[in-house]
Each structure stands twice: as structure tokens, then as C-alpha cells.
Structure 1
Amino acid sequence: MTAEADARKAQGRYEGAIPLLKRALALYENVLGTNHPTVAKALSNLGVLHRERGDYAQAEQLHRRALAMREKALGPDHPVVASSLNDLSVLYRTKGDYARAESLAERALALREKALGPDHPDVAQSLATLAVLCGDKGDYARSESLHQRALAIREEALGGGHPDVALSLNDLAALYRAKRDYAQAELLSERALAIQENALPPDHPAVALALNNVAVLYGKRGDYARAEPMHQRALAIQRKVLAPDHPDVAQTFHFLASLYLDKGDYARAEGLSERALAIRKKALGPSHPDVAQSLSHLAALHIAQSRIDEAVATAGLATDIQDRNAAAVLATGSEDQKRSYMSTLVDQTHLAIALHIQHAPATLDAARLALTVLFRRKGRVLDAMTGNFASLRLSRDPGDGALIARLTSVYSQLAAEVSRGPQNAPPAQYRERLAALEQQREALEAEVGKRSASFRAEQKPVLLPDVQAAIPEGAALVEIAQYRPYHLRPDTRSGHWGAPRYVAYVLGPGGDPAFTDLGEAAPLEAAVDALRRALADHDLTHDPRPAARDLDRLLMDPVRKLLGDTRWVFLSLDGPLHLVPFGALVDEEGQYLVERYLFSYLTTGRDLLRFEDRKAASREPPLILANPAFDESSAPPAPEATHRGVRSIDMVTQRLLPLQGTTAEARTIAEFFPESRVLLGAHATEEAVKAVQGPLLLHLATHGFFLPEQPVPAALLTTPGHSPTLAELAALRQRENPLLRSGIALAGFNRRRSGSDDGVLTALETAGIDLHGTRLVVLSTCESGLGEATSGEGVYGLRRALTMAGSETQVMSLWQVDSGRTRELMQAYYQRLAGGAGRSQAMRDVQLAMRAEPSTAHPNLWASFIVSGDWRRMETQVRSPEAGKVAKGARGCACEQTGGEPHAHGAWLAALLGFLVAARRRRSPRA
């Protein structure tokens, strides 16, 4: 009976195989008892058949029984146990439960590799299972590596014509299709189809799968005449051998519906889309990712038919499902894995915005949907990582604290390796060290996510009314996002998507959201670059106003029409707009916007809810660190290598000069906080900063850096007799992580000792510091607000790291700053905080006073610092010391400079006093 059942299964005749296996199972149980390994094997085989026909509840019950029997009879580490684990993993992946599926797949792979060796076909099966999961979650690099390894094992062990080789080829083709590498995907799909048709019966389900894969790719290049009959043939096979409500049937309906949509045959497309949706809801459940896919497709179809209300409703259902699933996925995994998963939702985010902007600009529900999607998805990875760290920081379990400590230690080791470079080590050895540390980082971040998953998964979905209720009276939120327009008819190069554009939504504490399309991204981003260059130019005879006006005309002119009389603006930006100080823009009347608006910078409008829900209390007094002893070691400096092999060569060979003037800055600021600790010179160390536990304030006055990305040096990519592995290549790319290319210099920087206290505090290490409860971090350094600006996730640099570490508000600079003026700006900023001003308002007051004084009127001198995060007053009283003259000294981030005494800058401080008196007499937005 089992032989006949296996034969029918091989032919894809599942309905005929199931009764035979049930009879065999009953016979085995009567003869051998209910706990025999042969009974477990029959249960497992029966579970696979039920999964293949779409009966997932029955399949899970059978697989769990088989697993329990095998673990009891053979022990938990037996390779046969791994078979049950793999079966369950495939089942949970099919159901969309990626977290459980991945855990089981990892365990099965580890057992099989240990018991069977790395080249066994069963190992290939586990590799393929895990690879498909990684692809589903957007981790394409890891997925490709696993698929390639599975394919190599199968070709070597089974031969190039085996059906399992075709499975690997199909899986790889699907991955390349997801990456939009259609040419490579087509080659692999055609090869897989040829193998399946040669090795299997013509009506086998695997043949139908291969036919669909090839047909989809023909459709992508517009060859509908070849694609349609292949889909129809696949459907005929599935109708013959599968149940009518099998998910594979729904997938073929979906493929055909997509083809008809692209051809403009909307009636046929709609019928098939509806049938696919009905099957998926029934077979997979209402929250499965495939259900969201069908709903998104229906929304696109409704757009094409100008059925806008239905399109908005359907797209809303799809995004709700996607966001619920995202909450579960983002609760676990490393930062890279979270970012990869969110990348799989980018098209659907763009569709929600394009639905409103292009196709339903007058439909209020469409505007609400687009803005809700932005609230839920912008900065989502940053929120998830911050939440993971916070959950463990607040936990009373000693194991959670130990896990955080191990992770931060790996951050430090990785930063040290990148900072020092290979030195005298062979490139291959250096690659291996980096790869080992990178694997530890990934594993530890994933473990952090796993241990905090229960906290993160319970979060409520963000709703537009909740965000609106958190906007203070008299203020408005401006949410700016990049999106790509959706074209009804695809082209063979970009599919349905057009060139990137920007949109701005404006939301007040009451009323409906307003919007304006800001146009194509390219000219706007070119204007951003031009203004940033103009503002950073230290030649104060150069006027940045034309560039500031050009950007304002593209960006804020349209927004101003929506703001009306509002003068307090929360800015949630996107892409390189994060690197613009909006106060330095110039309006149509030639006025700097700092004179017109109070700007408060956010990562996302969702931040307004986070600030209302503040839980952590400060646990330490303020820490003020300044004038690090960069040459604190008595050892001679390391010789400059002719080749460091790392991007940080600029940092490694750089020697920094003392910042004597920052000592006076630190002591002046300490007068505002009587309980503060001040660390200077040799005491201003990296370890001192890493050791903090939620200080009320962290003020760092030193050199900062952000290094631009450069290609991996060829010397690190090639070693005689040794080619870098995929893991090593991935680790080398990690060297270009912007969190490793940005940071600050501390004591010992010029000596660059080995160990975790090497004088270089990178942003990656900063992310591991405990700043939960820290109300304000001030980086009185150069370029501390810079980083790699990404669409949807903010700035990867110190700004992001400090948020991940738990700090509420960050003050940082966007270009190199003048020494004496920075010191005086900081003194005036704290003076305003002591007077009760909010954290954003205090900076605006100071900048207005500088702007009013001729010697500091140039925006290069007053606009560099921005305040990001919580804008409100600090609830702890900041004491106002008696005004006194601040000692002069040199600081500046041109590290070669010896630094002269600053010119007389104190005049604008007097102007500040006059400004403050006048400010009391007029209405001004206050936090």
C-alpha cells in the first residue's frame, strides 16, 4: 500500500494516495503499536499529502504527532527528527507564520549538518526550506547563498536531471524575479521546466509550477502570446490533480489575472482575482500575505476601472494585513533582517500614495489611507530596534542584560576591526575575522529580537486620529515622503512604476489632511545638494540665499499654502531632506524661515505618540565630556600603513589637535546642572561614555566625523589561492555600514590602541549605550547629524544610533562649525532651557539672536545645529547660572588647523538678551 501511495504521490495524485496511506497507518498501528518509528514515518508522509492538498490543520496535527514520536523514540538530535522539523517549517511558511517556520528550519538544518555532513541531499532540503523563507522576508542575499549551496549539493549528489535540481532552479528563479533580474530568472526557469517535463509525468503539480514560473517571466517582457497558454496549461494540470480550492490553483488564477490586467482585459482579470482571493481566504486564512497580495491586485484593478471608492477600501484591507504581519516579523530578527522585510512592502506603500495623488486626489479616504500607511511604515525598523533594546533594558531578567552586554561587545569589536584595518594581517585572515564578528552580530541581534518579541508584538496599530490628537494646538505636522507613481500599463524596463517623486501631507490638530505633490525627486534632491554645499562653505563672502530660495521654491512654497497662519511645524522628512536645516531656507520675501517658523524635527509623525508614552526615568546625573586627550598614550603612534584596506583610512591616518576651548564650554554648561559629572582630558574616554545608564543629559564636545562610502579595496577581495566566501564578502560590505563610518573622537584617538577603548566611538557602538531616560543628548561636534539618508528609514548615523540607544532628543550639527561661536551658542541654548523654553524653541531663540547680529548673520554660523526628537521642556529644573564671559579657545573640525583665537562673538549674546525681552512681548509658538 505504501509503495502504491508513494507512486501516486510522485505522479501528483494526492487524492488517490491519501486513502492508501490511511489504511497503511492503521495497519502499522495495529501491528507495531502507536509509538513505533514506522508509524511516525507514515504520519509524516500523510501530513505532507494533506499539506499538498491544502488541508493545513490536518497536516499540522499529523506532523506534530510524528515529531513527538520520533523525539521520544530516537532522541531530539536524530536526523529523522530533523525531517519532521523541516516538514513543520514548510507548513508554517505556507501558512505565513515566518517566525515559527524559520526557527524550525534553522534547527533542522543544524541537526542534519551535524549528523549527515554538509553535502547530504537532506541538508540541501533544509537549505532550500530556509532559503525560501529568507526570500519571503526580503533577505535576498542570504536566500541566494542558501539556494546556491542547495543547488550545488543536489547537482553533485543526484545528478543534473533530477527533479530536486529543478526545484532548486525554480526557487532561484523566483528569487531573481523578486529582485527584478528577469533575464537570469528566465534562464533558470526554462532549465527547470525542461528537467521537470523530462523527469515527471506531464500532469504532475511540479510541472504546473514550472510552467507558471516561465510564463510569468514571459509576461514581464510583454510576450503575452507565449505566457497565456502556459498559464492555462498549468491551470489544467492543477484542476486535474489538485483540489479546486488549493492555494496553487489560486496562484495560477492570480498570475492569469495579472496578465489580463497588463493587457487591459479588466473583466477577465477581475473574475480571476476574485476567485484567487476567495480560495486564499478559505485555505490560508484572512491574514495571510497571499490574501494581501490578492487584495492589492484587486485595488490596482479597481484603479484601472476608475472605481476609486472600491480601490481605496480594498487597498486599505491589504495594508492592514501587511502591517499586522509586519508587526510579527519585526518583533524578531536582526536589524538587517527587519530592513529586508520592510523592503518587501515598498511597492505597496507606493501604491497607497499613488492611489491618492494620481488617481483620487479629491477623495478624503484615499488621503487618510496614504497618510496612515506612512505613519505605520516610516522609520519602522528604527522603532523595532529601539523597542527591542528598550524591552531588554527594562527587563529584570539578568539574562537579558547579559545578552545586551554581549551584543554591545561585538559592536565594539566590529568597530575596532574596521577602524584599525587589517594592519599586518593577510587579507584572507582579516576577512575571516570580519565575517565571524558579523555573524555574531546578526545572531545576537536576532536573539535580542526573539527575547523581546512578546513585548513588541502587542503593539496597537497606529491610527491617524491618534496621531492627530497628539499634535499640539497651534502646530501642524508636515509628513514628506518619496514615492513612485503607478502606471496602469507596464513597460518592460520599470514595470508599473514611474520615476520617484515627493509628496507632502499637512495635518493639524483638527480638520482633514491636506497635501501637495512636490514633483520629481531628481531636481529637488539636486537643489538639496546645492544648498548643503552653499551652507557648508566657510567663505562667508559667498551668499547661500539663492540656493536657499531655489530649494524653498520647490519644497516649502507649496507647503506654505497649506500651512496658512500656522507658525509651529513638525517636520517628518524623507531621503536627503533629513540633511537640510529648514530654518535656513529663504521665502518669497527674502526672509529666512527661522524668522517665520519654529521647526521640530521627527523621524515620523508616529513619534508624537511615542513622546506621549514616555516611560523611562533618568537614572544618573548629567555627564559632560570635553577636550579629550587625543594623545593620552605615551606609546609612539602607529606607523601609517601603505594600505589599510578599510574606508576608515582617512580616520586611521588622521591626527587630531586638542580642543582646549571645550574645557570652558564644559564647565560653563555644568553650572546649569549642579549634580553633573565633567570628564576632561584623559578621563574623556570611550569607556566612560559606554558605561552610562540613562543620564539626564549627555553633552559631548569633541571632534565628529562622517566618512563617505568608497568601494572595497581590490587587495581585500583577492588573495592568492583563496577566494572570499559569500559570508566574507558580506562582512566586507558591512565595513561600509554608515553606522561604522560615523562617530566621535575621544581620548587616545591619535594612538588607536587595540581593544574596545580605542578612542573611536562609532555610531554602531553608540546604539548599544543605555540612554533610556536620557532627556537630551548634545553633540557639540562637527557633522554629527550627518549619515546615509535612506528613503523611509531616516539617517543612518549618530542620529539614528542615539535614538536606538533610547535618548529622547538629539542636538547635532550638519556641517563643520566654528569653535568660539559653537561654544557661545551652546551656552545660550542652555540659558534658554533654564528659562523654561522647549528643546526646539530654545535653539530657535538662539539662532534668531545670532541672525540679528551682523557678525553672526550668515547661516553657516547659526543654522548648522538642529534639534531632533522630543521638542518639549525638560521636566527637570535646569539652573540658570550668572551670565559670565566664556573663555576663548580654538576648536574646529579642520583637523590640520592649529586654530586661532575667534573674533569677538560676544555681541550676539547681548543681542540675545534683547531678543528674549522682545520675545516676551509677542506671541510666539512655544513647546
Structure 2
Amino acid sequence: MRLILMTATCLLIQLVLAQASYAQLSPASQQRINQLYQQLQQLEAQENYAAMLPVQNEILKIGQRELGDFTTEMAYEWNYLGNIYMALGQYSQAKAPILHALRVRRQQLGEDHRETGESYFNAALVLSNLGEYEKSEEYYIEALRIANKIVGPEDLDTLQIMNNLALLYARLSKYEEAKRLHNIVLKARTRVAGANSEHVGESLLNLGVVAQSLGEYDAAKDYYSRALAIFKAKLGDNHQYTLQVMNNMARVYYDLEDVDRALDLDRQVYAARVRAFGKDHIDVGESLNNLAYDLEYKEEYETAQDLYQQALDIFIKHLGENDAYVQMTMLNLAGIKQQLGEPEEALALAEKAVRIRRETLGEDHPLVAEALLGLGGLHLMAGRLDLAQQTIEKSYSVLHDTYGDNHPKNLAALFALCWIQMEREEWDDVLEMSDKIRRLVRTTAARLMAGLSPQEQLRLLKSDIHQDFAFTIAWQQMDNPAYVTASADWLINDKGMSQATLAARETLMRDTGDAESKALGQQLLDIRRQLASAVLTTPKGDQAEAQRKKVDQLTEQESEITRRLSLKVGQSIELERWIELDDVRDALARDETLITWIRFQPVDFEKAKKTSISHLLPARYLAWIIPPAGQGEIQLVDLGLAEEIDASIEKARAEITAAGKKDGTINKQGEPEAEKKLRAALEAVTKQVWLPVAEHIRPDTKRLNLSPDGALWLVPWAALPLEGDRYLIEEYAFRLLISGRELVEETREPSQNRPLVFANPTFDLTPQKVIDAIKAIFRDFKFDPNANRGLVSQTAIRKVPTLPNTELEAEAISPSLEKIVGKPPTKYMRQYALESVVKRVHQPRMLVLSTHGYFLPDQQAKTSDHVAGVGNSRSASLIAADGKPIENPLLRCGLLLAGCNQPPSGGDDGVLTGLEIVGLDLRGTELVVLSACETGVGKVQIGEGIAGLRQAFQLAGAHSVVATLWQVPDRDSAVLMRDFFEQMAEDQTPADALRAAQLQRIESRRERYGAAHPYFWAAWTFTGKSGSK
């Protein structure tokens, strides 16, 4: 997708200025130069920039001969030559003349001259396109300073420089800064040029691009629509800017997987470009390429093939076969031909693309490597394994030499080699390669995430196609102990990675308290942005070596600043460290066992190897039973189809919550009968997810560490029925873990600060009373009406009822909290149970939040039965099955606090999202208790939000979290929480205290009612570190 970026320089204007400056030339030279200028004017009017080069070079020769090289007149000519090269897109060639003009003007005219400012601007533009972003930013800022001084901050040229600086920030993924500058430019242009000017249209277009990059699709569509209205009114329906906005809008719809609307817009743009330029124009070729891409998505391969071919013919005619866009189209067409069963034609095209790139770029260029990878994929699908291996190994060699070991561009080549090994049934090699890939995935995701936009972060995490491959192989090799052990290692390191990496930016900025640390933190984020941009961009032409050096330099800087910042904040801020399985097993006590599950979709290898896509089978659950070191082998168990297990869990959950209603089975039939009915539903879950695992647990096991996945997070593990009318909690002590990594990760010493309790929030508090309450607590509080809300998910949260009994619960547990910590708790209740107060907590020893929690419906990506595979570069889907954009899961869970029923337009909205929770300072917080009622908006099936909320508190620094799976009657909640804290006050660990409180409820209800229905006691779960006595 090409974006029109209007620049402040105009070749014709420069030409007129230069022409007026040659009075000192000889008459013959003046006459010749005037003739040459006339030629330039004609050629520029025809946009024949290539023909302008020899004309301009002749002018330069005349000027150099008679004037020398360091005059202001010659600076014009060098600047003009650079602009011709830029018009041709030849930025490498433009660099030298543009920088020479800048040197001359600085020397002859000084730093504050208008023409010097123009040269700074042009130099910044060239360097930006060459990836030299730091220098480009420096030059844009200097150009902006000069323009502000000479013509003022609201001159259109000044605003153009600021516009381009914002474009640079967007390229560096500094989207918030880009958005801020674009908005400044938009407001100023509106004042200076008018709300319906082309300048305003450009600003709206650029804001649309930023919004699209951030995944803010509604905002992007709004900006594009407004820009489109301006360009249509000012320039007409067929102007290139009008059509470019429509083209961008089509790409928004494509990202949203509304391909029919994208196709409709692309067809309109194509028709308009044909009307404006005829069928034989490069812009028409771009439209044909977009149409082909749309139709390829819709699997209309024959039509897509025809359109790709038409586009290719146009590109070859106008750009020549040596253009990268031409070769990319060749490779697209090759993929289509493979899909249509034309392997020989596909192979010929791919080989041609490789040959051309080799001839133009050299053997060892990364673009050659990418073409070789596509060619190798075709060989692989055709069963030519030796050729495939030879080709892909060459691709990997170039990529590795260019980018180094830990680079995401290596992943596709390694994956393809792994596939070849699988085809040959070289299982030892497959295992070694898969292990290498899983480690590389973690390293690259952790290192790049902070430098990407939210949308790019999600796309990177969801594009890990090797994960399904790796666990499919492990599933098929269940009888091979080496695969069982290695896959357990992969799972321990994969689990929880997405939330941890998505939250890295928030925890980093939270941990940088003093000025020096903040400066280091911001420097680290800037370097990571540059690193992500450099790593994920394929270098042009001869820039490969320069980019490799840049990546190496940034990597070294990133490592050094990470080390310094870790020392400053007192803990490691590295995310990419791989935890070895042996360390996890060593951390298990002799009476412990770790059980970890995965919900995944196996790859259908028989179908996948025939095409360039990986066909997926229905999802399944697998379980690994991991004993302590020296206490037996790891076992892998296939639990069966996820759909059947998920249905059983949902049925059991529905039975539990229905039983507790006023007209439920407990009130209607009595607790003993209701318990029997529930046991029948829970026994189905036990048979599916527990009994196949239990037979592999050692008899001397007393403690379980359970790491669920998918809907297993919704299982009331404590209430799984065993023989003899007993429950799992009566047989084992257990805790839940996000990942087995938690068993070996460092834990900060417990804080000695007061415990904090939030209870009974006034949900209907008006916005003004929210402000008054905050001011009563924080004298320095300043309300910002323009502040963004807490980035709560796009799905609305309904109004919630009050929780008056939570205040009684808070009072009941206060004595025990004081006994545990040695200090009385600080309580924030009613109108003071505010989001703003929670956000300012500082390392409390314990934090109790008695309020509603929300978990929005799980988002599952909109997919068919296949995803991108070897030789196919289609991006991962970021659209949910309901057609809405996939969101950061930490935005889809959270807590509701005072004022949430009447949120203001900005500031404290009473909705504390998981992403905001990550930013809380809970380092050293031993325990967070969410004594909350679930207000799930819609149907929660997979459990991502449940797990996400708990993990958010752990990422913020909390050692452990106690939370509930369903709404519990206030009285029963208060009693259990009282017993829980009393047990802790008697020196029990938090995990053991919760179990003791639950066992006490079971015993009490059995004595009193002859039954102990899990509805009253099994909702509470303990996640995280068990704590110490």
C-alpha cells in the first residue's frame, strides 16, 4: 500500500529560483542553460523524471566548470538533482547531492537561512526513506526551528515540516507522538487554510494512517471519510489523492476482513484510475494487484491469477523486471498457480524472480533470500525434498548472515526446514529444530513487543504458526519420551507470554520512579521502537549491510540500557529468558506434581503439504504430568476434543450458578438433592480432564500445581468429585499457575506497608462527586477533562448493582489483616473506592478489592480450517468470529469501581482494566484478594479474561491472587473470607489458609445441612506463589 505524502518542495519552484541566479555565467553558458531549463520544464510537466537526469547533469557540469562547487547557485543545482532522484524513488542516489547542498548552504548562508532550512528538510526526507531515522529526526527538528524563526509556527511550510516529522514518528512506531503532532498540524491548517482545504485533507489522511496502524479502525474510517470528502470537492473524483484515500479505506476493510467492502472500494479505485490514466498505467497495476489480493482471500484463484498477470504486465512495462514490486507480484502469481495445480508454471515464475533479484541485488541480499524461501516452499509442496532443502538452506544462510541468530525473519526458513525433516521422518532433527524455533519465538516476541503498535503486537503473537505444528508433532510422538519432555519445556515457556509481553511497556514505565530511571526507561522504549522497525523491515537495494550494522548497534544499546535499568529498579526487566524444565522440576518438593494443559488445533499434515496453507483439525486438549526431579518420567495425555470438554464445563458451570438462584435447586429441592445433581454434571468434567491425568500421579503426591488452558480456567477444581462423596480439595492441596515458570521466577521480599481494602463502591456516583472524593484524598489532584478513558474494551459494560455487604466483610477481616501485617488496614469504601485511588497504591503488603469484576466474551479469531503455512505470507487474523477487531486481552477484563455507572467523558471512569492493573505498583504485595462478583458481559467460554485478570495483578508484582469464578452470596463470602484471613493470622500460607477455610465450610455445611454444595465454597481459587509461613 502506497501512501501519498505531500512534500513542501516543488521541482518547478526550485527551477525558477535557480534560473534567476546565473548572471555571472558566460553568455554562451547562459544561453545553453536556458535551453536546458526549458527542457526540464517540459519533462517535469510530463513526469518524465528519468529523462531529466542527463539534462540536470549537463547543467551541473557547466556550473562546476565556471562557478566551482561551493556556491549558493550550485547548491540549488545539487538540491534539484537530489529532488529528481527522490521523484524517481532513488533515495540512495539522492543522498549525496542533497547532503552536499546542505553543507554548502550551511557554510555560505548560515544555519538560520531559509534555504538552509529547505536543505535540512530535504536531507531529513531522504534519510527517512533510507532508514537513517535518528539523523532524519535531527534534521526535521532543525528545519522546524528555522521555519519557526523565519516564517512563524503557522506558516504552511512550517506545518509541512511538522507533518513530515509526525510521519517519521509513525514510521518509528511512536504513534502517540505522531498523533499529537498531526493534531497540532490539523488545527493550525484549519485556521490558516480553512477546514475544507487540501492541507486539512492531507492531515486527515495521515491521522487515518496512524489510527489504522493502532488498530483504531473506526477512527481511521472517520478520518479517511472526511479526507475523501475534501479531496472529492477540491480535486474531483478521479484525482490521485482522492483515489489514494479510497485505496487506504479499502485496506482498512481488508484488515477488518470485510473483504467484500474492500473489494467494492478497490473496484471503484480501479475504474477511476482507468478513466483517468487508461489501462496502461502503474497506478492501475497497483489497483489490479489489490483486487487480486482481495480475490485470493476469497479463494477465487482463477480470477486472482488473471488480475495478478495483468498487474505484472503493467509493472514490467513501466518499472522493468528489476523492480522489487515486479518480483513480489511474480511470487504472488506463483503462489496462485500452485493453488490452481499448475506447479511447473509456479516454479518457473518463482525461479525467474530469484534470478532477477540475484542479478540486480547480488547473491547475499535478504530480498533474494525471501524469494528463495518462496521457491523452496514450491519445491517442498511438489515433493522435491532435496531441492527444497538446498534452496531453503541457502535462504536461511543469507538471512542468518544478514540479521544474526535471534531474528524473526529466520523463523520462516527454520520452519520450512523443520517441515522437510518431518517429511523424511527424521524425528530427532525435527525435535532439535522445533526446540530452536520455540526458543527463538520467545526471544523475538519479548525483544520486539515494546517497539510495536498494539495491532502489530497482536499480529506478531498470533502469527506463530509453528506452535500448532510443534504441539501436533508432540501429540503424534506421545510415546517418544524426548518429545514429551521437550514439549513440556515449550509449553512452560509459551504460556502467559502474550500477556507478559503486551504488558511490558506498562511495567517498564511504572518501575522507573526517579528522573534518571525514567530517562533510561524512555530511552529503552525509543531504542526498542527503532529496533522493531529495523528488524521487521526488509532493506532496499544496497542497504542490507547498513541495516545489519544498525540492528547490531541497537541490540547492543538495548542490552546495555536494560542492564543499567535493571540495576536501578532492583530487579530484572528481561522477558526473553528461557526457563529450563530441569529447573522447574528441581523447584518441586517431593510431594508435589505440576500438571499443565494446552488447548490447541492440530495441523492436518496430509492436506497441508499439498498446498501453501496449513489445514487445521478441530481443537484438542493435552495434559503433561510433571513430577519432581528424580521422581519418575513426564507423562503426556490426550484428553480429547476441546468442543466436548468445553461443553461439559459450560454445563457444569450453568448448573452451579442456576442452583444458587432464588428458584434454583438448592431452595426448591434442598441442598443434598441439589448437590447430587451437580455432582452428576461435575463427574463428566472429572472423567474428561481429571481421571486420565490422575492415573499418572504418584501415590505420595499431596500438593498439585495446576496450569490450565482455555476453558479449564473455568473449572471449579476444588469441587471435582472423587469416590466416596469426596471432592478434590479434600484429597489434595493445590494452587493454579499461569505457567510452570512461576515455580522458579524470582519473588520480591514482602512489603511492610499497610494493607489496603476497597469495598462497597458507590457505582452510581456522579462525575462531579467522583472529582470531589478524589480531591478529598489527594490535595494535589488536577482533573483533566481531555484525559483518555482507561482504554476499556470497545464492548459496552452494563450498569451494576451495589454490594453493601462487602463493607461488612471489610470490617470483619480488618482485625486479621492487622494481626498478619502488624499494621491496621487503610479502607476505602463507598464514594472513596475509586479507580484513581487504586491506581496510586504503592506496594501494600495485602490488597483486598471487594467489588464487581468484568470479563468480556472471549474473542476467537475468525478462521476457516486453515492458516498460513510454508510459502504463504498471509498475516494472522486479527478479527474475531463476530467481525470485531481482536483486542488486547488485558483490555477485556478488569474491575468496576465508584462512578462506573455514570462515567465522565474523561478521567476516572470507574473501570480499571487489566492493562491498567499491570501498571499498579504491587511489587512486594504478598496477596491480592478479589472478593468480587462476576458481571460477565456475554458468554465466557475459553477463560482468557479470567486468567488475564489474575495475571494482570501478578504482572504488577503481586505474589498471588485469590479470586472467584461465580457470584457468591454476600453472607457466605463474608464468612469464608473471615475464616481465610483468620487462618493466615494463625501463620498459614495463603494457599493453605484458603484450603482450610474451604474445608471448614464443607464440614460446617455437612453438619448443618447434610450436604456441602460447591456453590457456597468452591468459587474461590488461589493463583500464584503459595507464600511462606
TM score, norm. by length of structure 2: 0.61
Q: CA deviation at 1:20?
A: 6.3
Q: CA deviation at 1:864?
A: 1.6
Q: Which residue of structure 1 aligns with residue 369 of structure 2?
A: 278
Decide which of 226, 249, 252 is 1:172's aligned counterpart: 249
* Matches of 1:59 and 1:835, distance apart in 2: 66
3-state SS, counterpart of residue 464 of structure 2? helix
Q: Which residue of structure 1 aligns with residue 312 of structure 2?
A: 235
* Matches of 2:317 and 2:194, distance apart in 1: 40
Q: Is the 8 A contact 1:703 1:744 kept in 2?
A: yes
Q: Is the 8 A contact 1:245 1:279 kept in 2?
A: no
Q: Is the 8 A contact 2:418 2:433 kept in 1?
A: no
1:151 and 2:221 equivalent?
no
The one-character-per-residue Cα deviations of 1:839-879 (angstroms, maximum 9, x if unpaired) are 324323443454456237332233121112222326xxxxx
* Matches of 1:260 and 1:90, distance apart in 2: 38
The one-character-per-residue Cα deviations of 1:678-703 (angstroms, maximum 9, x if unpaired) are 64978975477665421111235x55
1:396 and 2:514 equivalent?
yes
Q: CA deviation at 1:582?
A: 1.7
Q: Which residue of structure 2 aligns with residue 859 of structure 1?
A: 1014
Q: CA deviation at 1:590?
A: 6.6
Q: CA deviation at 1:357?
A: 1.4
Matches within 5 A, 1:240-319: 240-242=317-319, 246-263=323-340, 272=350, 275=354, 278-279=369-370, 286=403, 291=409, 295=413, 298=416
Matches within 5 A, 1:606-625: 606-608=741-743, 612-615=745-748, 618=751, 620-624=753-757
* Matches of 2:55 and 2:399, distance apart in 1: 24
1:534 and 2:683 equivalent?
no
Q: Is the 8 A contact 2:917 2:956 kept in 1?
A: yes
* Matches of 2:577 and 2:231, distance apart in 1: 46
* Matches of 1:396 and 1:668, distance apart in 2: 35
3-state SS, counterpart of residue 699 of structure 1? strand
* Matches of 2:318 and 2:70, distance apart in 1: 32
Q: Is the 8 A contact 2:847 2:927 kept in 1?
A: yes
Q: Which residue of structure 2 aligns with residue 882 of structure 1?
A: none
Q: Is the 8 A contact 1:189 1:214 kept in 2?
A: yes
Q: Is the 8 A contact 1:480 1:502 kept in 2?
A: yes
1:814 and 2:965 equivalent?
yes
- Shift in CA distance, 758/660, structure 1 to aligned 2, threshold 3 Å: farther
Q: Is the 8 A contact 1:147 1:168 kept in 2?
A: yes
Amino acid at match of 1:107: L
Q: Which residue of structure 1 aligns with residue 459 of structure 2?
A: 344
Q: Which residue of structure 2 aligns with residue 550 of structure 1?
A: 684
1:871 and 2:992 equivalent?
no
Amino acid at match of 1:392: R
Decide which of 188, 195, 202 is 1:114's aligned counterpart: 188
Q: CA deviation at 1:180?
A: 2.2
Decide which of 450, 472, 477 is 1:331's aligned counterpart: 450
Amino acid at match of 2:800: M
The one-character-per-residue Cα deviations of 1:801-834 (angstroms, maximum 9, x if unpaired) are 5446542211122223355654554454345545
Q: Which residue of structure 1 aligns with residue 729 of structure 2?
A: 594
Q: How big is the alpha-carbon RMSD for the aligned residues of Structure 1 and Structure 2? A: 5.8
* Matches of 1:196 and 1:283, distance apart in 2: 38
Decide which of 663, 669, 680 is 2:811's aligned counterpart: 663
* Matches of 2:695 and 2:181, distance apart in 1: 58
Decide which of 130, 143, 156 is 1:59's aligned counterpart: 130
Decide which of 271, 291, 304 is 1:214's aligned counterpart: 291
Which piece of structure 1 moves more, 190-199 or 283-292? 283-292
Amino acid at match of 1:353: D
Amino acid at match of 2:825: R
Q: Is the 8 A contact 2:495 2:738 kept in 1?
A: no
1:357 and 2:472 equivalent?
yes
* Matches of 2:596 and 2:138, distance apart in 1: 52
Amino acid at match of 2:651: A
Amino acid at match of 2:680: P
User: Identity percentage over the alignment?
Assistant: 22
Q: Is the 8 A contact 2:292 2:304 kept in 1?
A: yes
Amino acid at match of 1:812: A
- Shift in CA distance, 659/392, structure 1 to aligned 2, threshold 3 Å: closer
Q: Which residue of structure 2 aligns with residue 651 of structure 1?
A: 800
Amino acid at match of 2:685: L
* Matches of 1:133 and 1:629, distance apart in 2: 38
Q: Is the 8 A contact 1:352 1:370 kept in 2?
A: no
Q: Is the 8 A contact 1:829 1:843 kept in 2?
A: yes
Q: CA deviation at 1:478?
A: 4.1
* Matches of 1:174 and 1:366, distance apart in 2: 43
Q: Is the 8 A contact 1:770 1:805 kept in 2?
A: yes
Structure 2: stretches of 5+ with no match in the other structure: 1-9, 13-38, 95-125, 355-366, 372-394, 523-560, 567-571, 661-665, 770-794, 859-883
Q: Is the 8 A contact 2:852 2:935 kept in 1?
A: yes
Structure 1: stretches of 5+ with no match in the other structure: 405-450, 637-645, 711-731, 875-927
Matches within 5 A, 1:436-515: 459-465=574-580, 469=584, 472-474=587-589, 475-486=592-603, 496=615, 500-505=619-624, 515=636
* Matches of 1:321 and 1:203, distance apart in 2: 45
Larger Rg: 2
* Matches of 2:259 and 2:196, distance apart in 1: 30
Q: Is the 8 A contact 1:670 1:678 kept in 2?
A: no
1:583 and 2:715 equivalent?
no
- Shift in CA distance, 661/286, structure 1 to aligned 2, threshold 3 Å: closer
- Shift in CA distance, 302/770, structure 1 to aligned 2, threshold 3 Å: same
If each structure's helix is expressed as a fraction of its own residues, which one has the higher value?
2
Amino acid at match of 1:870: K
* Matches of 2:54 and 2:438, distance apart in 1: 41
Q: CA deviation at 1:47?
A: 4.2
Q: Is the 8 A contact 1:67 1:81 kept in 2?
A: no
Q: Which residue of structure 1 aligns with residue 262 of structure 2?
A: 185
Q: Which residue of structure 2 aligns with residue 523 of structure 1?
A: 644
Amino acid at match of 1:33: T
Q: CA deviation at 1:135?
A: 4.3
Q: CA deviation at 1:139?
A: 4.5
The one-character-per-residue Cα deviations of 1:64-105 (angstroms, maximum 9, x if unpaired) are 797467435423955446656766777897xxx642587557
Amino acid at match of 1:817: V
The one-character-per-residue Cα deviations of 1:881-903 (angstroms, maximum 9, x if unpaired) are xxxxxxxxxxxxxxxxxxxxxxx
- Shift in CA distance, 219/495, structure 1 to aligned 2, threshold 3 Å: farther
Decide which of 833, 842, 860 is 1:693's aligned counterpart: 842
* Matches of 1:105 and 1:331, distance apart in 2: 18
Q: CA deviation at 1:527?
A: 1.8
Q: CA deviation at 1:212?
A: 1.8
Q: Is the 8 A contact 1:647 1:709 kept in 2?
A: no
1:779 and 2:934 equivalent?
no
- Shift in CA distance, 39/464, structure 1 to aligned 2, threshold 3 Å: same
Q: CA deviation at 1:552?
A: 2.5
* Matches of 1:185 and 1:38, distance apart in 2: 44
Q: CA deviation at 1:668?
A: 3.9
* Matches of 2:40 and 2:441, distance apart in 1: 39
3-state SS, counterpart of residue 331 of structure 1? helix
Amino acid at match of 1:196: R
* Matches of 1:458 and 1:16, distance apart in 2: 55
* Matches of 1:54 and 1:254, distance apart in 2: 28
Q: Is the 8 A contact 1:578 1:789 kept in 2?
A: no
Amino acid at match of 2:1020: F
- Shift in CA distance, 529/392, structure 1 to aligned 2, threshold 3 Å: same
- Shift in CA distance, 752/179, structure 1 to aligned 2, threshold 3 Å: closer
